[in-house]
Amino acid sequence: MAEPVTTDTPVTAPGEGVPPIPGDIAELVRARAGERLAPLVHRLFRSSLVLDPVDGPGADEGGRGAAAGEGAAAEHGGADGGPVGRLGGLPALPAGTAWPEFAGRPMQLLAELDCAALAVALRPGGRGTVPGPLPADGLLLFFHDESLSDFTGRGCRVLHVPAGAPPRQAPVTGAGAPAVPAVPVRATRALSAPSYQDRELERLFPDDFLVALDLGIDLAERLPRPAVRVLGWCDSDTGRPEGHRPLLQIESGVLAAEWGECVNVSFWITDEDLATGRFDRVRHGFGTA
């Protein structure tokens, strides 16, 4: 097992808006990838937000801390460390906005996130005015079909709505969509690295896949794998829709929800749709034990 990240190591800058790469992780990349390819690997690192319950750091059943970790790999974001939204609960759907359905069933709300709070959390130290990849205001509502019956990736909806509407109960028609108990969450800005399953990393080593495999495993051991992440790279073994990146990932253990053998749910979006706010084309993913 690799040694944990320390706070006194020098850091390497990956790309604009991304937290610094701790020096020991940068050295690991150089050792695996070589001097020529190491800068290209560094550019793949992404900024993300780890979401934790407001009343505690949280941890999944496997003992992985949900918090982002310590040192240069993570920065506590937000104006005051307060809530940036919540997991579960009832959605603040404006009048005239229909509750999303799939196959005639009301979908289940998994998260309601405040875009303005997320924007602050994504800035280094919560400061600055550089626009981020998410909308500057309003709410993002993440719904999915809790029966997980669709394998084409269309069993979800993400709505970007104005803030201020009262919570709305699910329709009584159709089957189910039980509400997930609400859990307020705070955000921590954190470094996220690709895995060997991500083609962006694999393509850097066309002649030796084992380099990408070993590097991906090393990075997964050095950087935290949280229970809930916004943006960044995929932390699970779920399928990766071609041309998409994770928008939100949730491990089942962090929610009081029954998904059978499903251990995680994810929402995926293309770079173009993220840049233009086309959340109506988000794809659904889930992994099983």
pLDDT digits (tens, 9 = 90+) for 201-235: 999 998 888 999 999 999 998 888 899 999 999 98
Determine the Cα–Cα distance for residues 160 and 232; give it in Å rounded to an integer: 20
Looking at the chain, the whole-number percentage of residues with pLDDT higher than 90 is 46
Specify the 3-state DSSP secondary structure of 86: strand
Are the C-beta atoms of residues 25 and 5 closer than 8 Å to each other? yes
Structural domains of the chain in order of their starting residue, each with its CATH number: 11-288 (2.30.320.10)
Determine the Cα–Cα distance for residues 236 and 249; give it in Å rounded to an integer: 9
| Phi, psi (deg, nearest 5) at residue 117 | -70, -40
Question: Residues 250-265: pLDDT tens digits?
Answer: 988 888 777 777 788 8
| Phi, psi (deg, nearest 5) at residue 100 | -60, 145
Looking at per-residue pLDDT, the higher value among 158 and 18 belongs to 158
**What is the chain's mean pLDDT, rounded?**
81
Closest CA to 121 of 231, 37, 259, 266: 231
Two tokens, residue 212: 């990408």
Two tokens, residue 284: 């659904």
Residue type, 17: G
pLDDT band at 55 (very low <50, low <70, confident <90, very high): confident
Ramachandran bin of 212, using left for φ above 0, alpha for ψ from -120 to 50, beta for the remaining angles: alpha
Two tokens, residue 192: 């996220």
Whether the model pTM is above 0.95: no
Residue with tokens 């505690």: 56
Residue-level pLDDT at 245: 94
Two tokens, residue 83: 């809530």
Determine the Cα–Cα distance for residues 190 and 200; give it in Å rounded to an integer: 20
Determine the Cα–Cα distance for residues 22 and 184; give it in Å rounded to an integer: 30
Q: Is 210 exposed, middle or buried (0-12, 13-18, 19+ CB in 10 A)?
A: exposed
Are the C-beta atoms of residues 279 and 140 closer than 8 Å to each other? yes
Residue-level pLDDT at 40: 93
